[in-house]
Amino acid sequence: MRPFDESIASEAGPNVRTGDLEAAARIVAVADVIRQSRRTRTRAIEQTCDALRPLFARRVQPARAALAVAVANAKRLGLPPSFVRVSGLGNREKPYNRLLGWWLSDSDHGAGFAFARALAVRVGLSALAEDLDAGERPTVRVEKSLAEDGRKEPDAVVLTSRSALLIENKVDAPESGDQYAPYLRAFRVEAAERATVAILLARESRATPPGWSRTMTHQEIADLLVQTAGCEGLPFWSRVCAQLSSSAFADETPSHELLHEADALLARAERGAVSATDIARMQSITRGLSANIGAQ
């Protein structure tokens, strides 16, 4: 910083007042201080970045390595397509309901009641799991009216001697008023003295309606189907069916698009141009690919 002295006045010439020169000198001094402060802050930021860079790299490398393995396995084994998506149906609620009913029953998927038992455990309906373990065959109703109210057709109801499960499935449908209460009232009459659980199922997380037990997402159903596919001793085609059904309930992103996204993330990681958001996405894709591959 240059202090004001007589030399500045002499350089400025005889027509400039001393007060003006003093003000100019102060401005110059302030500007010098600001520049110095900026240089100091810049150095501090650079030092912080240098310190954080190795820590960030330690987060990137495991995520990148795990994703690379998952992608290689997925390309080698292939990923199950969603036949619901392939069908091109505009309204998917009924296909999802039928698919749920198929898996809740001892149908030609060949897996018995493995999925129904897994769902019972997940939602805490132990009486249903115990009845299935004891060899009881449940009554499964899909889109059929309950005796108490013939106008209401719940998407799925499962009944055993000691348990009752209600599933109302929503696919992109908006909610209006207290639309769930009539289903619940009719279901409770049908259930009588049985242990009950009422589930609202939707693509995204929603608030649990009053009186209902809980909500579940379609992704949770997809995860249970992957779990079913991994059951020990399950026939080959049962595992295939579970994987295909899981893809139908899972995220809407088609498998090939997921692999393209994974390739792009790996390329960015190779260039060292990934963000924290990219790392989280890499981990998410790895989990999804690994879940599908692990059950094959």
**Alpha helical stretches, state H, the chain:** 6-12, 18-77, 83-87, 93-104, 114-123, 126-133, 181-191, 218-229, 236-249, 255-271, 276-294
Q: What is the pTM of this model?
A: 0.66
Q: Which of 172-181, 220-229, 268-277 has the highest mean pLDDT?
A: 220-229
pLDDT tens by residue, 217-232: 998 999 999 899 989 8
pLDDT tens by residue, 52-111: 656 656 778 888 899 999 889 888 877 777 666 666 666 678 888 999 999 999 999 999
Say what the pLDDT of residue 288 is. Answer: 74
Report angle CA 112, 115, 121 to the nearest 5 degrees: 125
